[in-house]
Amino acid sequence: MISSLRGMNDILSDDYKRFTYFISTATKIAQRYGFHFIETPLLEETALFKRSVGESSDIVGKEMYQFIDKGENDVCLRPEGTAGVVRAFIQKKLDRAGGIHRFFYHGAMFRYERPQKGRLRQFHQFGVESFGVDSVYEDASMIMMVSDILKTLGIGYRLQLNSLGCNECMPPYRQKLIKFVKECVGNICEDCIRRVDTNPIRVLDCKNGSCQELYVGAPKLLHNLCSGCNDDFDTLKKILENNGIEYEVNTNLVRGLDYYSKTAFEFVSDNIGSQSAIAGGGRYDRLVEFLDGRPTPAVGFAMGIERLMELIVMPETKKEGYYIGAMDDEALDLAVKIAHQKRNSDVVLIDYKTKNLKNHLKAADKENVKYCAIIGSNEMKDGTIWVKNLEDKTEQTLLLEDF
Ligand code: HAM
Structural contact between residues 256 and 59, judged by C-beta atoms closer than 8 angstroms: yes
What is the rounded CA–CA span in Å between residue 338 and residue 336?
6
Torsion of CA 369, 375, 378, 383, to 10 degrees: 100
Beta strand 384-389 with 371-375 is: antiparallel
Strand order in the sheet with 74-77: 43-45, 74-77, 66-68
Question: Which pLDDT does position 186 carry in this prediction?
Answer: 85
Q: Is 280 in the pocket of ligand 1 (CB under 6 A)?
A: yes
Atom 17 (ligand 1) nearest CA: 119
What is the pLDDT, as a whole number, of residue 228?
97
Q: How far apart are CA 169 and CA 166, in angstroms?
A: 6
Q: Which of 46, 109, 95, 144 is nearest to 285 (CA)?
A: 95
- The string of DSSP letters for 120-171 reads -SEEEEEEEEEES--SHHHHHHHHHHHHHHHHHTT---EEEEEE---TTTHH
Q: Give the bridge partners for 179, in sequence order.
A: none
- How close is the Cα of 287 to the center of ligand 1, in Å? 17
Asked whether 79 lines ligand 1 (CB < 6 A), one says: no
CB of 127 shorter than 6 A to ligand 1: yes
- The torsion angles phi and psi of 394, rounded to 5 degrees, stand at -75, 150
Q: Which of 283, 284, 238, 280 has its CA nearest to residue 263?
A: 283
Cβ 278 under 6 angstroms from ligand 1: yes
The continuous run of DSSP H or E covering 398 comes out as strand 395-399
Question: Ligand 1 in contact with 120 (CB < 6 A)?
Answer: yes
Report which protein residue has its CA nearest ligand 1's atom 29. 301
| Residue 306 CB–ligand 1 contact under 6 Å | yes
The DSSP call for residue 301 is E
Amino acid at 387: V
- How far apart, in whole angstroms, are the C-alpha atoms of residue 123 and residue 100? 29
Tally the residues of the chain: 403
- Phi/psi for 27 (5° steps) reads -60, -50
* Cα–Cα distance, 130 to 141 (Å, whole number): 10
From 60, 123, 288, 291, give the residue whose CB has the most ligand 1 atoms within 8 Å, as the site to mutate.
123
Q: What is the DSSP letter of 262?
A: S
Q: For residue 138, count CB atoms less than 10 angstroms from its CB and return exposed for 0-12, middle for 13-18, buried for 19 or more.
A: buried
Is residue 129 within 6 Å of ligand 1 at its C-beta?
yes
- What number of other Cβ atoms are within 10 A of residue 234's Cβ? 13
The maximal CA–CA distance of the chain, rounded, in angstroms, is 94
What ligand 1 atom has the least distance to the C-alpha of 81? 27
Cα-to-centroid distance, 375 and ligand 1 (Å): 53
pLDDT at 397: 97
- CA-CA distance, 104 to 281, in Å (whole number)? 13
- State the distance from the centre of ligand 1 to the C-alpha of 268, rounded, in angstroms: 12
Residue 154: how many other CB atoms lie within 10 Å: 11
Closest atom of ligand 1 to CA, residue 308 = 12
Separation CA 266–CA 280 (nearest Å): 4
DSSP category for residue 41 = -
* DSSP class per residue in 9-35: ----HHHHHHHHHHHHHHHHHHHHTT-
In 3-state terms, the chain is what percent helix, strand and coil (to 5)?
40, 20, 35
122-131 and 101-110 strand pairing: antiparallel
Query: Is ligand 1 within 6 A of the CB of residue 277?
Result: yes
pLDDT at 197: 87
Task: Count Cα neighbours of 160 within 13 Å in the Cβ-side half-sphere.
Answer: 16
- Which pLDDT tens digits describe the chain residue by residue (403 residues)? 999 999 999 999 999 999 999 999 999 999 999 999 999 999 999 999 999 999 989 999 999 999 999 999 999 999 999 999 999 999 999 999 999 999 999 999 999 999 999 999 999 999 999 999 999 999 999 999 999 999 999 999 999 999 999 999 999 999 999 999 999 888 899 889 888 888 899 999 888 888 989 898 999 999 999 999 999 999 999 999 999 999 999 999 999 899 999 999 999 999 999 999 999 999 999 999 999 999 999 999 999 999 999 999 999 988 999 999 999 999 999 999 999 999 999 999 998 998 999 999 999 999 999 999 999 999 999 999 999 999 999 999 999 999 9
Q: Do the Cβ atoms of 82 and 256 come closer than 8 Å?
A: no
Tell me the whole-structure pTM to 2 decimals.
0.94
For atom 18 of ligand 1, which residue has the closest CA? 119
